[in-house]
Amino acid sequence: MNRFILSFFLIFSIMIGACEAQTDNKKGLNIEWELLENQLDADTYHQAQFVIENHSGQSIEAGWKLYFNSIFFDLKAQLENPGIELQHLAGDFFVLTGKGKEAAIPNGETLKISYRSRNPYLKNNHAPEAPIFTLANGTIVSDIQFEKSEMSVWELQNLAADSRLPIPTPARLFEQNEGLSLLPKEDLPPFLPSPKSWKINGETQWVTRAGLAVVGDKSFAEAATFLTKRIKENYNPEILKTEKPIQIRISQKDGFPSEGYSIEIRDRRVLILASDERGAFYGVQSFLGLQPADFWKGNTEGLLLPQISIEDSPAYSYRGFFLDVARNFQTKEEIFRILDLMALYKLNTFHFNLANDEGWRIEIESLPELTQYGSKRGFSEDEADFQWPFYGSGISSEETPGSGFYTQEDFKEILQYAKERQIEVIPEIGFPAHSRAAIKSMEKRYERFQKVGDLEKAEEFRLIDPDDQSEYLSAQNFRDNTVCVCKESVYHFFETVVMEMKGMYQEVGIPLKVFHTGGDEVPHGVWEKSPICQEFLAENKSLKQEDLGPYFRSRIGFFLKNEGIQQAGWEEIGQLVENGKVVPNPNFADRNWRLYAWNAVAGWEGEDMAYLLANAGFPVVISSSANYYFDLAYDWDPRERGHTWSGVGDMYQSWKTVPSKFFLSHDQTIDGAVWNWEEAKEKFENLSEEGKKNILGIQGQLWTETVKTPDMLEYYVIPKIFGLAQRAWEGDPTWASASNTEEKKALRQNEWNLFANQVAQLEVPRLEVFQGGYKIRIPAPGLKRVGDQVFANLQLPGLEIRYTSNGRVPSMQDSLYEGPIPYSPNLRFRAFSPNGQGSNVSQLED
């Protein structure tokens, strides 16, 4: 965080009234986390303290331990209390131990534990969470109340007053929204992603009580079945025989681009044409997209038949969404909802991260320990039966989001569900790093067979060199997350997992075409002190220490190729370091490895890596962290959860990308400096003609360290997914072809206004009822005071703003904002969707 050059620091003095009040009614332990100081200049830091109040009725003796989680906690934080020890256990899991006499907490007394961390505090969800307190004898204290300081957007604004950090105060939001205006609904494209062309042929018909006939050519029978099912789920009128029936035909016709289609609606006749099965399906989805939001509530009385002609096809063959369920698990039912969301917006590839350091989520019958141990997280001191409760997943090993896995039957259901929606599922099992759950699971298997004296079985799938003394720390702060690539048992493990997963695909009649092997973030220092690797290198004199990673990737790549499976991985599997710079690895350019170019922080000089790799010969999926990482916070408001390591990003950030001219995709760097398009263009790699062919498409990613529930998942994804879907289907926006910067920005604003209106007027109302309704993040209103008048506006024109004047949080029952209102110090504003999902509260600075 020291990239922020600031000169102002703010001291937060948090006065907790409860500390001074009577404590007769308090029970157990009250633990508070208080922010004391926060500084964002060249010497960044924050200072905070844990306040432990003992109301348990007995003295707490030294030897107690306070465990907590924090992704953002400094491993070298300095404690200011004698007798207290801080230890980093693994990942985001820490423990404070009260060792000295001064650590005792008599009943009714308070202990304050202060620390200083080298990083500033920017988000309320960056504070420690999920405390677990144990007594000296190991007993877990169950009665804990935990509170945390919270920072307002105004406090962060004051802290960052001299910085370029774009703090989203209501005034800044108002300025950002000023170019947006409400457009007539009839002027909007009919659905998202917007079709390439459409023409209105006549007045829209609202057809009620009419019969329905859906007929599909033999090759499009599945699309016809899907459409019939969808309509009948929502349209069940009492049919009048005198009403002319609705006739829908889905027919094959040569000449359409891959996945392209046309729709022609004349009177009550609907004709959908396509050359391939996916095109027919997308024609079906577009017809459903023409229906109003009320259609999805079920038992609709009629169907909407706009008299329209549509011609449409996608810019990219790969339109993907990645979901990590290893960090925090999501149920099969929520995966179905995500697949429905993807299908609705014509995304065709589901990249499914099923294993990582913190969890293994897919049943492998020949290796039961992977789910018996690796799928579970909970609290214990030694991880004997499950891993520690990373990401605040709690004490119990039986509850999500820390624990959970998909049985093979579950996974086959997911595959089938995806197939019905024309979505390919690409599984990811990351190697050689990000493998802690697998490593520890196979250690349990080793122990099981060792106990019965079967050493051959014990070693069969072991993933580590037990005598390895290598020292490393992974990106997520693990010291034991990388397999030993010099052991044959590692390859036996990998091949066993792949073959069993391939079998699951075969059982539902789907080929496993692509297997994502991860390959990212291999820590520095791995294998350097491994006796097994030293012996391996001695026997293979053509290899050096730095060749071990490429050797591993090459070997598993040949295995996958022999099985008819394309190897995929994050960009690292196709890179090497040359003269201190990361460049494409020419040794692998002819292997057809699919690379996902992700590490593209704006201002860190890796923004054009996707182009470098494509020009070198690799098939590439653009997965830019700066634009398509949905786990980034929406903005810098401290109330918005999420990561900030690659900046922040909302729907606008995903929408405004230009895939074939990516230098146009930014307006500022991560630290707020102006991003000059012309200067960036000069530095960017130019895509060659072959390179253009190697850009397969784009993908949005949701890593789930900070995502714990289905509602949170959907909040992080919607509405960002609209920008992704539009860009993946449309390709480069029209504005990117303008002749100069001024014209580009003017056209971009017009196109953005149109898109924002589509989202607000068409897609938000639809998703609030589609499949029972999705959780949607509603942007907060912008505010501006002019004299004694207060003006408000929205990022999504067409939604409502409601307000109160007594300081109370506005609800749907409060006053509707329809124009400027007189200023009063207690005004509070919120934006609302049609179904009442509300934004954060906006208020003028007191």
Mapped onto helix, strand or coil, the DSSP state of residue 409 is helix
Give the whole-angstrom CA distance, residue 614 versus residue 594: 10
* R_g (Cα) of the chain, nearest Å: 28
Q: How far is CA 113 from CA 17, 290, 291, 479, 833, in A?
A: 19, 59, 59, 27, 44
Annotate 755-793 with three-state secondary structure. HHHHHHHHHHHHHCCHHHCCCCCCCCCEEEEECCEEEEE
Structure tokens at 822: 């007189």
Structure tokens at 233: 């789920």
Residues in CB range of 215: below 8 A, 6 or more apart: 224, 247, 248, 249, 250
DSSP 359: E
Backbone angles phi, psi at 695, to 5 degrees: -80, 105
Task: State the alpha helices, DSSP H only, in 103-219.
Answer: 153-159, 170-177
Give the whole-angstrom CA distance, residue 154 versus residue 151: 8
Residues in CB range of 200: below 8 A, 6 or more apart: 306, 307, 308
Mapped onto helix, strand or coil, the DSSP state of residue 632 is strand
Dihedral sign for Cα atoms in the order 265, 270, 275, 281: positive
Q: Please, how many CA atoms are within 13 Å of residue 840, restricted to the half-sphere of its CB? A: 20
Smallest CA-to-CA distance from 224 within 189, 257, 245, 252 is with 252
Smallest CA-to-CA distance from 166 within 629, 630, 631, 640 is with 640
Give the whole-angstrom CA distance, residue 285 versus residue 625: 29
CB atoms within 10 A of CB 21: 10
Residues in CB range of 451: below 8 A, 6 or more apart: none
Q: What angle do CA 285, 713, 333 make, to 5 degrees?
A: 65
Largest CA distance in the chain: 90
- 176-180: long-range contacts at Cβ-Cβ below 8 A with a sequence spacing of 24 or more? 176/782, 176/795, 177/782, 177/793, 177/794, 177/795, 178/793, 179/749, 179/752, 179/753, 180/752, 180/753, 180/756, 180/793, 180/794, 180/795, 180/797
Question: Contact 286/327 with Cβ under 8 angstroms?
Answer: no
Structure tokens at 128: 């420690």
CB atoms within 10 A of CB 339: 21
Question: Contact 361/62 with Cβ under 8 angstroms?
Answer: no
Question: Contact 595/571 with Cβ under 8 angstroms?
Answer: yes
Give the whole-angstrom CA distance, residue 671 versus residue 628: 18
Q: How far is CA 336 from CA 6, 214, 228, 704, 772, in A?
A: 46, 25, 19, 17, 12
Residues in CB range of 439: below 8 A, 6 or more apart: 463, 464, 480, 481, 483
* Cα 466–chain centre separation: 35
Smallest CA-to-CA distance from 410 within 465, 475, 352, 356 is with 352
521 is annotated as an active-site residue? yes
From 413, 495, 521, 528, the catalytic residue? 521
Q: Which residue numbers are catalytic? A: 521
